[in-house]
Structure 1
Amino acid sequence: MYLLQHRVYLSDLTELFTWTCSRCDGLTKDFEMVELIVDVKRCLQGFVGVATDLNAIVIAFRGTQERSIQNWVEDLYWKQLDIDYPGVDGAMVHHGFYTAYHNTSVRPGVLRAVRKVKNLYGDIKIMVTGHSMGGAMAALCGLDLRLSLGEQNVQVMTFGQPRIGNAVFASYFNQIVPDTIRVTNGHDIVPHLPPYYYYFPQKTYHHFPREVWLYNIGLGSLIYTVEKVCDGSGEDPTCSRSVRGNSISDHLKYYGVEMGCDTPSGCRIVMDPRVVAYARKDLDGNLILSRDLSNSILKLNTDRGDQGSSA
């Protein structure tokens, strides 16, 4: 999943949409892009595709760009819970994360693409992933797929995700989307934000489970990475909370993979005339590149019984 996730940082929409980028080549078997959504106004990007080796629909969201991450991190230090989550008494969430998924061009593009793929391939699983702010959007997307489309087989895996809501929201999320993994890395600063205040457990931000913490052990050239599966609280004090969250470099590399654009690009995008036929713009200038799946050559195993395959 993390190999698919780091492709979403590409600013060259031609390479990403046609799956010909250097990051794509040979690493994911028979992946076909279905819809690529670029919210230019808010610098958001995500895609929906299908993958033979995963036998799944894959949805991935881009995180915060390196140029702005320092300012974004500083803002998260002071961010307060500021919006009630609809339909859940006492659940509160981060307004910016909620808005980024629910009130932009991203959500309708994702739901439209999922319906399109399901019409062709039937009841296959859906895997949602994202890094950094993209992880927050991925979590909200996974919850939305369960609630809005009634999808039963939804798996979420995020990397370096910040906290999204309070303990009531975290408990609700865990109940609705139990097949969720939050991967954290070393001293990554972002999973520590917005801050968790243990003496105000219902009023503060709170992670949902299950965390998998990556950390290094050993000395010199014998250092290797350990994956620790944390407890079901979402705030295991023996996992990432056991260290100081003060590293941006740990945030930008997971499993040895750089999470970010190959070159600093801000919100600039590149698109070859060959893919213009697949693109449409809305009134705000946001782009959606969409592929007709009627001629798809991918053959997914829709009769398999492994509905619970882990992310």
Structure 2
Amino acid sequence: MEQKAWLIFVIFTCLIASSCGRELKVDHKHKLPVYNHTLATILVEYASAVYISDLTELFTWTCERCNGLTKGFEVIELVVDIENCLQAFVGVAKDLNAVVIAFRGTQEHSIQNWVEDLFWKQLDLNYPGMPDAMVHHGFYTAYHNTTIRHGILHAVKEAKEFYGDLDIMVTGHSMGGAMASFCALDLVVNHEAKSVQVMTFGQPRIGNAAFASFYAKLVPNTIRVTNDHDIVPHLPPYYYYFPQKTYHHFPREVWLYSLGLGSLVYRVEKVCDGSGEDPTCSRSVTGNSIMDHLNYYGVDLMCQEWRSCRIVMDPRVAEYGKTDHKGNFILSRAPAMRVRSNEGEVKASA
């Protein structure tokens, strides 16, 4: 019995030893995306606005967060999946000459439970058409098997038919970043979309190294922004000693962190390598902060007040909606259409 236990220990030790130095690398033989600070500060405002629960203000783009660098944005479709507490919008940003798609992340009041759950998540779904690629079932399902996907695709089609062949920019924070990534891949692979750009904030890992390589090849213009000790980009955990089985980020990461020089503190924006798991970026520190997860570039990425999945909406704006038997609904309008609310007429584009 003692010999058997010793043999098991030796085999296990050998397996660990043999995996050392064999960390899987993401195949990135294509040109890596160039980080644009100005674009990041614009897209983070869209990622913040999608947290607004007052759908009248969001649909008419009159909310407190619907200003600044995103002023004049035209929402074409606002999708709310009540059943799964998901929210996203699609619209046109004329200053960017692009369709912008934004996904809401996990609400801050439930993020602790969500983080704890992610520690134990396993790769549990084969991604269609990608040999050996595995992904997180929950993140994949949140985009592919809910009201969200149908609404997003319909709105993108409407926007392009009206405005022509615009670029597509997809963004989201936290779980919204995971959904944004699956959305971008869906647009490229299944809908032959051209010029798709992705920028996410505080995104978790969503697949293995094989998936990350396919993703990097198909959606090369992707930036994942991480912030200081934000815990979520460290989840689900990356196991160096089991490269075949572990989750793996796709490139390219930009790590925001503070550098103290005496009494002065500088904010650094480090553009990381093309591995997706650059050991000198966010992986160089412990991911132990939820506060670092909720604010990027000085912008809050959370709800203004806790409403669970309840929403607020003007009855006149509700006239633009369609609801299914589960209570999920889509607010939709033709591009450039005017919207009426109790405050009066609001033009679709400023």
Residue 206 (structure 1) shift: 0.1
Distance in 2, matches of 1:278 and 1:26, equals: 26
Distance in 1, matches of 2:68 and 2:117, equals: 38
Distance in 1, matches of 2:310 and 2:336, equals: 31
2:283 equivalent to 1:283: no
- 1:98 is paired with a residue whose SS is helix
Equivalent in 88, 94, 97 of residue 52 of structure 1: 94
Verify the 8 A CA contact 1:157 1:183 in the aligned structure 2.
yes
Per the alignment, residue 215 of structure 1 pairs with 257
Find the structure with the greater CA-based Rg: 2
Q: What does the per-residue CA deviation read over 1:124-164, in whole Å, with 9 as the maximum and x for residues that have no partner?
A: 10000000000000000000000111011000000000000
Structure 1 residue identity aligned to 2:293: H
Per the alignment, residue 232 of structure 2 pairs with 190
Verify the 8 A CA contact 1:120 1:293 in the aligned structure 2.
yes
Distance in 1, matches of 2:316 and 2:265, equals: 47
Equivalent in 238, 242, 249 of residue 200 of structure 1: 242
Verify the 8 A CA contact 2:75 2:348 in the aligned structure 1.
no
Equivalent in 165, 186, 192 of residue 150 of structure 1: 192
- 1:250 is paired with a residue whose SS is helix
Verify the 8 A CA contact 2:92 2:98 in the aligned structure 1.
yes
Residue 295 (structure 1) shift: 4.2
Q: What does the per-residue CA deviation read over 1:93-125, in whole Å, with 9 as the maximum and x for residues that have no partner?
A: 000000000000000000000000010111110
2:151 equivalent to 1:109: yes
Distance in 2, matches of 1:292 and 1:178, equals: 31
Verify the 8 A CA contact 1:63 1:130 in the aligned structure 2.
yes
Structure 1 residue identity aligned to 2:275: S
Per the alignment, residue 304 of structure 1 pairs with none
Verify the 8 A CA contact 1:98 1:140 in the aligned structure 2.
yes
Equivalent in 209, 215, 218 of residue 176 of structure 1: 218
Per the alignment, residue 270 of structure 2 pairs with 228
Distance in 2, matches of 1:14 and 1:220, equals: 48
- 1:21 is paired with a residue whose SS is coil
Verify the 8 A CA contact 2:105 2:173 in the aligned structure 1.
yes
Residue 25 (structure 1) shift: 2.5
> How does 1:155-166 map onto structure 2 within 5 Å?
155-166=197-208
Q: What does the per-residue CA deviation read over 1:258-310, in whole Å, with 9 as the maximum and x for residues that have no partner?
A: 110111111110001120111110111101000112648889xxxxxxxxxxx
Verify the 8 A CA contact 2:199 2:222 in the aligned structure 1.
yes
Distance in 2, matches of 1:213 and 1:249, equals: 16
- The two structures have a TM-score, normalised by structure 2, of 0.83
2:76 equivalent to 1:23: no
Residue 29 (structure 1) shift: 3.5
- 2:159 is paired with a residue whose SS is helix
Q: What does the per-residue CA deviation read over 1:185-227, in whole Å, with 9 as the maximum and x for residues that have no partner?
A: 0000000000001111121000000000000012575212110
Verify the 8 A CA contact 1:52 1:298 in the aligned structure 2.
no
Structure 2 residue identity aligned to 1:49: G
- The two structures have a TM-score, normalised by structure 1, of 0.94
Runs of 4+ in 1 over 4 A off after TM superposition: 294-299
Q: What does the per-residue CA deviation read over 1:55-75, in whole Å, with 9 as the maximum and x for residues that have no partner?
A: 100000000001110000000
Verify the 8 A CA contact 2:248 2:277 in the aligned structure 1.
yes
> How does 1:299-310 map onto structure 2 within 5 Å?
none
Distance in 1, matches of 2:266 and 2:59, equals: 35
Structure 2 residue identity aligned to 1:115: K
- 1:206 is paired with a residue whose SS is coil
Identity rate, percent: 70
Per the alignment, residue 50 of structure 2 pairs with 8
Distance in 1, matches of 2:156 and 2:139, equals: 21
- 2:302 is paired with a residue whose SS is coil
Q: What does the per-residue CA deviation read over 1:33-68, in whole Å, with 9 as the maximum and x for residues that have no partner?
A: 000000000000000000011110000000000111
Distance in 1, matches of 2:202 and 2:227, equals: 7
Equivalent in 110, 115, 131 of residue 68 of structure 1: 110
Equivalent in 253, 256, 264 of residue 306 of structure 2: 264
Verify the 8 A CA contact 1:29 1:53 in the aligned structure 2.
no
Distance in 1, matches of 2:263 and 2:106, equals: 32
* CA RMSD, Structure 1 to Structure 2 (Å): 1.4
Q: Judging changes above 3 Å, is the alpha-carbon distance between structure 1 residues 213 and 244 closer, same or farther for their aligned structure 2 residues? A: same
Per the alignment, residue 33 of structure 1 pairs with 75
Distance in 1, matches of 2:289 and 2:126, equals: 31
Unaligned runs of 5+ in 2: 1-42, 339-346
Count of aligned residue pairs for this structure pair: 299
Distance in 2, matches of 1:107 and 1:184, equals: 26
Q: Judging changes above 3 Å, is the alpha-carbon distance between structure 1 residues 298 and 67 closer, same or farther for their aligned structure 2 residues? A: closer
